[in-house]
Each structure stands twice: as C-alpha cells, then as structure tokens.
C-alpha cells in the first residue's frame, strides 16, 4: 500500500512540474527561401516537428541544411544559404565577358575585346536582383596609326600590291616566283598590328623541272687549248725573248665567283635592308645589311659577306621590344597580356570606380600608346525626396557606399529606411514611403495566436481576438484594437495553467 502511495505521489509531482509543450506558429517566408508545401495560419507545429525550405526562384543553393525544427515554440532556422545568380550575360560583339562560373548577386562580368578592337563604355556589368545591370560596353575597331612593316623581300620572286619601302598595318602583298622557281609557303601575307608580316614570308626554290632542263656545262673554249690565229707578227720573230711572244697554253682566267640574292632568315625577325632588295648579284667580298622588324631591337652583327659564292651566316638576333610598366593607376591596376611588343594592358578599377580615358594600351615600337587612364569614383545622383520625410546624411556629392536614412515626420515608414550608393552609380533601392495612416506592428503574445492572417503591419482600427495555446490561460482582454500605432486596451498574456494537464 505504501508503495502505491509513493508511485501516485511521484506521478502527481511529475505532472505538476512538467511544462506543457510549446507549439510553433507557421514558419515565415524568407527573401531567398520558401517553405515546401503550404501551412494554414491556424496550424500549429509540435516540438520536434520539421519543415523543409527551398530556394526562391532566381536563387541557387550554396550549402547548408534545408530543415527547420520547432524547439520550445521557436523555429530553429535552417542553415540553407541561397544566393542570387544571374544568367550568362550574353555575347559581346568582337569581344567576350569574363565572369565567375556561377555569377552570384553583386559579382561583376568584365568585358574584354578581341585583338584590333577597343573597349567603349564601362568595362563591367553587375549582377543584381533584376539581372545584369549597367551600361553595356561595345568593342570598336581600332585604326592603328604609326604601326608599319618593312618591305618584304623574297628572292627570285615578284610581288603585287603597293610598291613602297614601308607598309601600313593592314596592307597585303602577294608573291609569285620567277620562272624556274616554285613557291614554298603562303602566297598572300598581311602586315599585322604588331609590325610583322603574317603568316611568315614564303621563299622560292628552284623547280625540279627547271633543273633537269638546264644544259650541261660546255667544255672549255678551243682557243684555250691551242694558240689562236693571230696577225702576221705572231709568225715572225720580234724583239725580246721568244717565250714572251707566243701565247701560253691553258685556260684563260675566268670571272670571279659572285653571290646571288641573300636568302631570308625566317627565325631572326629581320629583313634585308631596303637598299639591297632590288639587286640580283653581289661581288666577292661585298656585304649586305639586315634590319630588325618593327618592334624588335637588334643584338649582334647585322652584316653578311659574299665569300666563295656563298653568304656568311647572320649573327643578328632581334628581340621583341619591352615596354615595361604601362603606368600606375590610383584606385585601380593594369591587367597585362604581357609587356612586349604587340601585347596589351587593360585598366581595371577598384569596386566603386570607373575607367576614364583609354582603357586598353598597346605596346608599340615607341612604347605604350595613348595615356594612362584614371579611375574615377562612381557618383550617385541626389537621393530621391519622400513626402512627409526627412533625409539624414545629406552630402554635396554621393560617392560609392554613401548612406542616407529617411525619417518619417508623420506616419510609419513602409520599405527600407536606408539606401546607399552602389558600385555602378545607382542607389541600392527605392526609398520608403511614409504612410500617413498610423499602423500597428504584429502583436507579440508568447504562446498566443489569433485567427486570420499574420502580417507585419495592421491598419488603424483593425481588431484581433487573441487565444492561447493548450495548457495556457488568457490573462487580460482577448480583443485588441489598433489605435494610432498601438494596441488597446493592452496586449493580453498567456499564462501556464497546470490544471489543464491534471485532467489527463
């Protein structure tokens, strides 16, 4: 009997000391996430019950758990992270965009142009809630002045096109080999903006057919084998020794061996100097000079000498000119493809700044073209005025990250109270509206609920009837009314009522 009483007392004590379960109200919808399924405003969630979230349209998951659990009447928030992602920015005519594989909100896509084109407009666009924002750049064809190619020389050939000593970038030349020679390489070459002919110059080699048709060398002339017939004085003795009077047997002296047109050395980036291009033959001991192509600097001897019918090797090496640094930019930097002749450097400004001037510079024969651009701070227009509101943080100029705050003189602000100047020179959002009608915020009654919709704001004179969760008793007036921004008569309370559990 005593044991039964002990058990009974233990159970009663447990019931008295036990707290009732605290239910959770329907979970709220977030900016970037939403709850899977629908939950009516009247539904209550028991402790330990879970709901699943998913990313809103236009957002993509970036790690974390999608589950939220009801614990002690409060939702344990999910760790799911959803980030805004933009679609690919599209194609840029005569260029391309460089951006992250998954362009999240506030990331940038940088515009770069193909060779021969220059960027016009801002060099980036920004991923925002509405998509890619910013003035779209364009790639305009560059007319290069001052870039030239030296006259191309191909031995045993003729060329069509301009007949000048210096060619401008974009000029074309077509080669045709002389009779008895055949072309090796391409026939059509173009002067490129780096001062070089492209593709490499061809050369003309003797045609096999022409070599087989060449007549064999003839034997020495007869007069070199016997005394030539001469006038009568060769038959009668003259003064002086006889051996000086009669012809010497053997061949006559031949002409000195000569050299033909010196061939091009394709790997040297040098061409025969202009004064030697038109000549077809050179005497023994005569030498010719070579000149490096535009944009290349010489190192070594530039001469070759005709020796025994052959040209001595060319020891001239031509290296691409180095332009060094394109300059320093305050609030920005240059992104280089290289610093040698033909390379480019593109200015990229820090966030909140834009390029003013020529964004891309090219390494040319005389150094970097153009001038070093500057990075100018992005400036927003004056913040928009809001009726019945005061603006805090007014400035003469609103640069990147400048913040202004709106204060309603009468009524309640609807929307964001603060806006800031973004990196693309626009305000972060629309300013709030000052609602002349006084509203009340959602009543905070722990363990309480009401029928109808759950909103952040309730209109003036709107009424709600408060009820308590099971196990709790209402203390105060159940019906409250919004009166000029506050609930009247006052917010009731839900107090724990242990007798509720004694009945079970």
Q: Read off the tokens for 396.
A: 């003469």
Same domain for 461 and 492, yes or no, is yes
- Which of 414, 434, 454 is the C-terminal boundary of a domain? 434
Beta-bridge partner residues of 175: 159
In a domain, 231, yes or no: no
Residue 278 in 3-state DSSP?
A: coil
Higher-scoring residue by pLDDT: 107, 444:
444
d(CA 133, CA 128): 6
502: part of which helix (H) or strand (E)? Answer: helix 499-502
Angstrom distances, CA of residue 171 to CA of 147, 152, 162, 362: 11, 12, 8, 20
Same domain for 150 and 202, yes or no, is yes
d(CA 320, CA 297): 6
Q: By C-alpha distance, which of 169, 6, 5, 14 is closest to 502? A: 14
pLDDT band at 479 (very low <50, low <70, confident <90, very high): very high
Burial class (CB in 10 A: 0-12, 13-18, 19+), 202: buried
364: part of which helix (H) or strand (E)? Answer: strand 360-364
Q: Tell me the CB-side half-sphere exposure of residue 372, using CA atoms within 13 A.
A: 14
Same domain for 306 and 296, yes or no, is yes
In a domain, 19, yes or no: no
Same domain for 419 and 458, yes or no, is no
In a domain, 123, yes or no: yes
In a domain, 355, yes or no: yes
In a domain, 213, yes or no: no
| DSSP code string of 449-472 | EESS---SEE-TT-EEEEEE-TTE
Same domain for 362 and 386, yes or no, is no
Higher-scoring residue by pLDDT: 419, 278:
419
- Give yes or no for a contact between 123 and 168, defined as CB atoms under 8 angstroms apart: no
Q: Read off the tokens for 333.
A: 């930097």
Same domain for 131 and 164, yes or no, is no
Query: pLDDT for 42-56, tens place per residue?
Result: 677 888 888 888 887
- Give yes or no for a contact between 412 and 439, defined as CB atoms under 8 angstroms apart: yes
- Give yes or no for a contact between 406 and 417, defined as CB atoms under 8 angstroms apart: yes
Higher-scoring residue by pLDDT: 483, 210:
483
Higher-scoring residue by pLDDT: 93, 16:
93
Angstrom distances, CA of residue 142 to CA of 94, 113, 148, 290, 391: 12, 11, 15, 31, 47
pTM over 0.75: no
Q: Look over the chain and give the mean of its residue pLDDT values, rounded to a whole number.
A: 78
- Give yes or no for a contact between 348 and 332, defined as CB atoms under 8 angstroms apart: yes
Q: Read off the tokens for 452.
A: 């109808």
Q: What is the dihedral of CA 6, 9, 15, 17, to 10 degrees?
A: -100
CA angle at 423 for the pair 417 and 428, rounded to the nearest 5°: 20
Same domain for 422 and 386, yes or no, is yes
d(CA 474, CA 495): 6
Q: By C-alpha distance, which of 169, 202, 208, 209 is closest to 183? A: 202
- Give yes or no for a contact between 279 and 136, defined as CB atoms under 8 angstroms apart: no
In a domain, 184, yes or no: yes
Q: Summarize the confidence of residues 48-71 as an average pLDDT.
A: 81
Same domain for 45 and 55, yes or no, is yes
16: part of which helix (H) or strand (E)? Answer: helix 2-17
Q: Read off the tokens for 86.
A: 């933009």
Range scoring the smallest mean pLDDT among 1-10, 20-29, 166-175: 1-10
pLDDT surpassing 70 at residue 488: yes
Query: pLDDT for 95-120, tens place per residue?
Result: 888 877 667 777 788 888 887 777 88
3-class SS letters over 123-192: CEEEEECCEEECCCCEEEECCCCCCEEECCCCCCEEEEECCCCEEECCCEEEEEECCCEEEECCCEEEEC
Question: Looking at residue 217, what is its pLDDT?
Answer: 44
d(CA 448, CA 464): 12
Question: Looking at residue 173, what is its pLDDT?
Answer: 85
- CATH no. for residue 103? 2.10.70.10
Q: By C-alpha distance, which of 190, 116, 112, 185 is closest to 154? A: 185
pLDDT surpassing 80 at residue 256: no
Residue 240 in 3-state DSSP?
A: coil
Query: pLDDT for 116-152, tens place per residue?
Result: 777 887 788 888 766 787 777 888 776 655 567 888 8
* CB crowding 453-462: b at 16 or more within 10 Å, else e: eeeeebeeeb
Are β-strands 479-483 and 457-458 bridged in parallel, bridged antiparallel, or unpaired?
A: unpaired
Same domain for 263 and 316, yes or no, is yes
Beta-bridge partner residues of 320: 296
pLDDT band at 494 (very low <50, low <70, confident <90, very high): very high
The residues, ordered by sequence, that sit 6+ positions from 437 with a Cβ below 8 Å of its Cβ are: 411, 412, 459, 460
Question: Looking at residue 466, what is its pLDDT?
Answer: 92
Same domain for 345 and 369, yes or no, is yes
Beta-bridge partner residues of 157: 177
pLDDT surpassing 60 at residue 29: yes
Query: pLDDT for 34-44, tens place per residue?
Result: 787 766 656 77
Question: Looking at residue 240, what is its pLDDT?
Answer: 43
In a domain, 116, yes or no: yes
Distance of CA 5 to the CA centre of its chain: 82
In a domain, 60, yes or no: yes
**Domains held by the chain: number:** 7
Are β-strands 344-349 and 332-336 bridged in parallel, bridged antiparallel, or unpaired?
A: antiparallel
Question: Looking at residue 45, what is its pLDDT?
Answer: 81
Which residues form the domain of 74? 33-84
- Which of 206, 223, 249 is the C-terminal boundary of a domain? 206
pLDDT exceeding 70 applies to what percent of the chain?
78
pLDDT surpassing 80 at residue 375: yes
Q: Read off the tokens for 303.
A: 């001469």
- Give yes or no for a contact between 121 and 109, defined as CB atoms under 8 angstroms apart: no
Angstrom distances, CA of residue 157 to CA of 121, 170, 171, 176, 203: 47, 22, 19, 5, 8
Question: Looking at residue 139, what is its pLDDT?
Answer: 85
Going 91 to 93 to 99 to 105, the CA torsion angle's sign is negative
Query: pLDDT for 192-241, tens place per residue?
Result: 776 788 888 888 988 775 444 444 444 444 333 344 444 434 444 444 44
Q: Summarize the confidence of residues 261-266 as an average pLDDT.
A: 77
């Amino acid at each position: 009997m005593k044991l039964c009483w002990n058990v009974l007392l233990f159970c009663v004590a447990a019931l008295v000391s036990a707290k009732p379960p605290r239910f959770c109200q329907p979970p709220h919808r977030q900016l970037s996430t939403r709850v899977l399924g629908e939950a009516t405003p009247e539904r209550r969630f028991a402790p330990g019950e879970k709901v699943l979230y998913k990313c809103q349209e236009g957002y993509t998951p970036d790690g974390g758990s999608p589950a939220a659990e009801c614990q002690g009447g409060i939702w344990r928030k999910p760790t799911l992270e959803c980030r805004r992602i933009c679609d690919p920015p599209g194609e840029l005519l005569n260029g391309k965009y460089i951006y992250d594989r998954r362009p999240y909100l506030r990331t940038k896509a940088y515009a770069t142009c193909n060779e021969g084109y220059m960027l016009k407009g801002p060099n980036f666009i920004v991923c925002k809630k509405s998509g890619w924002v910013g003035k779209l750049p364009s790639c305009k064809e560059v007319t290069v002045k001052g870039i030239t190619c030296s006259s191309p020389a191909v031995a045993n050939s003729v060329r069509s096109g301009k007949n000048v000593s210096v060619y401008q970038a974009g000029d074309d030349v077509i080669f045709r080999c002389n009779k008895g020679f055949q072309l090796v390489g391409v026939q059509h070459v173009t002067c490129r903006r780096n001062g070089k002919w492209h593709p490499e110059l061809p050369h003309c080699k003797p045609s096999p057919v022409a070599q087989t048709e060449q007549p064999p060398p003839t034997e020495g002339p007869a007069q070199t084998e016997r005394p030539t017939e001469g006038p009568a004085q060769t038959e009668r003795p003259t003064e002086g020794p006889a051996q000086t009077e009669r012809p010497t047997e053997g061949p006559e002296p031949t002409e000195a061996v000569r050299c033909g047109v010196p061939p091009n050395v394709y790997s040297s980036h040098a061409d025969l100097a202009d004064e030697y291009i038109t000549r077809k033959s050179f005497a023994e001991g005569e030498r010719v000079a070579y000149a490096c192509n535009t944009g290349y600097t010489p190192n070594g001897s530039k001469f070759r000498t005709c020796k025994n019918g052959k040209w001595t090797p060319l020891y001239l090496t031509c290296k691409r000119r180095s332009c060094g640094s394109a300059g320093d930019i305050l609030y920005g930097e240059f992104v280089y493809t290289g610093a040698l002749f033909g390379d480019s450097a593109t200015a990229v400004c820090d966030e909140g700044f834009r390029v003013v001037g020529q964004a891309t510079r090219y390494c040319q024969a005389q150094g970097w073209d153009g001038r070093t651009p500057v990075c100018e701070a992005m400036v927003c227009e004056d913040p928009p005025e809001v009726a019945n509101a005061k603006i805090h943080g007014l400035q003469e100029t609103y640069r990147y990250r400048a913040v202004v705050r709106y204060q309603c003189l009468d009524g309640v602000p609807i929307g964001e109270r603060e806006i800031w100047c973004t990196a693309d020179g626009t305000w972060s959002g629309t300013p709030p509206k000052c609602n002349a009608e006084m509203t009340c915020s959602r009543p905070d009654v722990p363990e309480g609920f009401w029928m109808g919709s759950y909103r952040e704001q309730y209109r003036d004179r709107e009424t709600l009837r408060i009820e308590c969760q099971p196990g709790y008793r209402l203390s105060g007036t159940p019906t409250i009314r919004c009166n000029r921004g506050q609930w009247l008569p006052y917010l009731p309370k839900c107090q724990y009522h242990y007798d509720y559990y004694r009945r079970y």
